[in-house]
Chains A and B, each alone.
Chain A
Amino acid sequence: MRDSLSIWFFSGILLLAYGLLIAGTGIWELFGHAPTPLPVLYQLHPAIWWGGMMTAFGLLYTVKFRPR
């Protein structure tokens, strides 16, 4: 698209922001701030690995499709 920001750049930014927020929340919960009631399978810490994965993909897309 003519010298416009790519949709994939927007996707990367969104993923990065969400990934950092969610992974950060997961890490915060590790230090005595677990939610109540605890979600089922909370011991797997899905917020950390799901948020971490989103952060990684978000970073990749943000850098790869950044405006030049």
Chain B
Amino acid sequence: MFPIFAPAASLTALLAAPLQQSLVRLHGVDIAVIAIYFAIVIYIGFYLKRASNTSEEFFMAGREMTAWIAGLSFVSANLGSLELMGWAGSAYQYGILATHWYWIGAIPAMLFLGIIMMPFYYISKTHSVPGYLHLRYGDGTRALSAVCFAAMTVLMSGINMYAMAVVMKVVLGWNLNFSIWVSSVTVAVYVALGGLRSAIFNEVLQFLLIWLGALLIPILGLIEAGGWTNLKAQISQRMGSEYVHLWSTTGHFTSNPMGIHWTGIVFGLGLVISFGYWTTDFLVVQRVLSAHSLRAARMSPIIGAGFKMLVPFIVILPGLLALSVLPVHLVPANVAAVTGQPSYNEVLPLMMVRYLGPGLLGLGVTALIAGFMSGMAGNVSAFATVWTYDIYGAFMNKKASDSHYVAMGRWCTFIGVLISVGTAYIVQHAASIMDYVQALFSFFIAPLFGTVILGMLWKRATKAGGFWGLLAGTCTAIGLWVWVDRDPSALRYVALSPDAKAMAADMYRALWSWIVCVVVTILVSLMTKPRPVAELEGLVYGATKLPEEHDDHWYQKPIVWAGAIAVVFVALNIIFW
């Protein structure tokens, strides 16, 4: 789910994959399936241009989306093809433990966003997360978060673009330049024309395509393996029983293939990284802000959580099935580059080739392309919004007309895509910068959650507290990363164990940076003058009268749906314990 933390999808490792031959040979019908997808997304962009004339329409989709559309878009914006391939590879490498990134690493945070945080985002009528920080903490915190977000978003988009082009070369044998330019020009056209509405429409289509293209693999795989019970037995025999248990092997760093401890999963991943990403990353929050009412905005992440819980079926299960049914043994990408064997990252394409014939294979490849393009569309639409509202409109040109800001948004979309393309070509010649940029993105998310959550729940948090807390948390994350990068043995101090592996480092770095952010925010706030409570109306819990929601029946209440999702979430964790 989080590209920045997907071990098997390490982008540098992806680049190390052998490029000499493609895994998949497409037929005419497969090409037709791909061509139909491109025709429809371009048509949607042209069709929706007429409904994207004001800034509210272009940047916020007119705030007209239903809970279902916003919810599907919310979960789809994160369901990129690199994530799908990376986490399927992780499941092959680490077993069912990879499911944590989809369950505890997402569900509680999504429910929390819907029930607790969404009212404040929505009532404040903010256009963005930096916009909320402006209302709550002032310009300094807004500028810090907006600049970091805008820069990282387009850089990440470029890196993902290049990595996807490499995947297309490995899987399909396509030329790198062809993949980069066709996909980026298509995304630029439909987002610049239709704005966020166009991006959301295409994300919903992408969600359908991913399920239709990927769902046959676990169905046919389970038939071949003889059912789940047989599959578990085969994996336990081949790899060990720790590959099929979610929690029972996490009592010690050395007793599971990921080298991770349950405290890191619960507190680092489940509490900090997950909440940071799902509740404060504007790329996903923007989708929910487009909902047509507060109730729809609260239901969107809850609906998204329901679908998110099902994603391991099409991502993790194929990786586990590959352990049982694939006749070849997959290896890490750096080994594959030397030996020519297939790498972990190729598990999903290999499973597609195994089960899908002409037509179905085209559908699977289209799902991968759609996943990549909608991820890029999400990045550039979020970039255009943050640049226009929180940087250009806030600091450079405060009094321009509405049509001027819409034009700026359209130009930003093209410029964002061009920067992404430029980044993709830079990365082609300096692959090592990719992991650095990914790490940069991760530095900011965990402390940002500390800043936002204190701002929403604690009236006493002050402008200075928010700014210095965010800065201190970000610097802590950077410092810990540099420390471990220079001296890998320092991991024992960061993760509190000499047996910890790289995955644990990400989780504990996030946890420490969040703690530092929260502590500094509290200390500085207590030493500085608080804002009058009257100014916090609509921004902070306890200073805001939430509008009453009138549902016809008790079962229509968001809290009831969130409770039902929570019960299923707990049950699944117990079943696969």
Contacts and interface: CB of A to CB of B under 8 A. Distances in A.
Contacts of A13: 40
Nearest to B73: A7
Interface string A28-63: 010000010011111010110011001000000000
Contacts of A47: 357-360
B201 A7 contact: yes
B363 interface: yes
Interface string B101-138: 00000000000000000000000000000000000000
Contact of A40 (B208, B212, B220): B220
Nearest to A35: B357
B571 interface: no
A10 B37 CA distance: 11
Interface in B309-365: 325, 353-360, 363
Given A2-B51, A46-B355, A18 B33 contact: yes
Nearest to B220: A41
A2 B353 CA distance: 43
A10 B355 contact: no
A56 B363 CA distance: 17
A34 to B, nearest CB: 8
B358 A35 contact: yes
B223 interface: yes
Given A1-B51, A11-B204, A44 B363 contact: no
A29 B357 contact: yes
A22 B355 contact: no
Nearest to B62: A1
Interface in B254-297: none
Contacts of A44: 220, 223
Interface in B444-472: none
Contact of B69 (A7, A39, A42): A7
Contacts of A17: 36
A1 B325 CA distance: 47
Interface in B21-67: 27, 29, 32-33, 36-37, 40, 44, 47-48, 51, 62, 64
A14 B355 contact: no
Contacts of B244: none
Contacts of A39: 353-357
B216 interface: yes
The size class of the interface chain B forms with chain A is 35 or more
Contacts of B27: 35
A18 B36 contact: yes
A13 B39 CA distance: 12
Given A7-B69, A15-B208, A41 B359 contact: no
Contacts, number: 90
B359 A26 contact: yes
A54 B69 contact: no
A51 B33 CA distance: 12
B499 interface: no
B58 to A, nearest CB: 14
A44 B223 CA distance: 10
A15 B40 CA distance: 12
A42 to B, nearest CB: 7
Contacts of B363: 18, 22
A22 B360 contact: yes
Nearest to A1: B64
Given A1-B51, A40-B224, A25 B40 contact: no
B205 interface: yes
A24 B20 CA distance: 34
Interface in B192-219: 200-201, 204-205, 208-209, 212, 216
Nearest to A2: B51
Nearest to B40: A14
A14 B205 contact: yes
A40 B201 contact: no
Given A7-B204, A18-B33, A22-B363, A42 B216 contact: no
A41 B355 CA distance: 7
Contacts of A42: 357
A21 B33 contact: yes
A55 B216 CA distance: 16
Contacts of B204: 7, 11
A25 B216 CA distance: 16
Nearest to A19: B212
A11 to B, nearest CB: 6
Contacts of B360: 22, 46-47, 50-51
Nearest to B204: A7
B42 to A, nearest CB: 12
B220 A10 contact: no
B359 A25 contact: yes
Contacts of B224: 40-41
B185 to A, nearest CB: 21
Nearest to B215: A50
B221 to A, nearest CB: 9
Contacts of B51: 1-2, 4
A9 B30 CA distance: 23
A4 to B, nearest CB: 6
A6 to B, nearest CB: 9
23 contacts: A4-B51, A10-B201, A11-B205, A14-B37, A15-B208, A18-B36, A18-B212, A21-B33, A22-B363, A26-B357, A35-B358, A39-B354, A39-B356, A40-B220, A40-B355, A41-B355, A44-B220, A46-B220, A46-B357, A47-B359, A47-B360, A50-B360, A54-B212
Given A4-B51, A5-B47, A44-B223, 15 more contacts: A1-B64, A4-B47, A7-B200, A7-B205, A10-B44, A11-B205, A13-B40, A14-B205, A22-B29, A35-B27, A39-B353, A39-B354, A40-B325, A47-B358, A51-B360
For the complex of A and B, 5 pairs with smallest distance between CB atoms = A25-B359, A22-B359, A39-B357, A35-B357, A7-B201
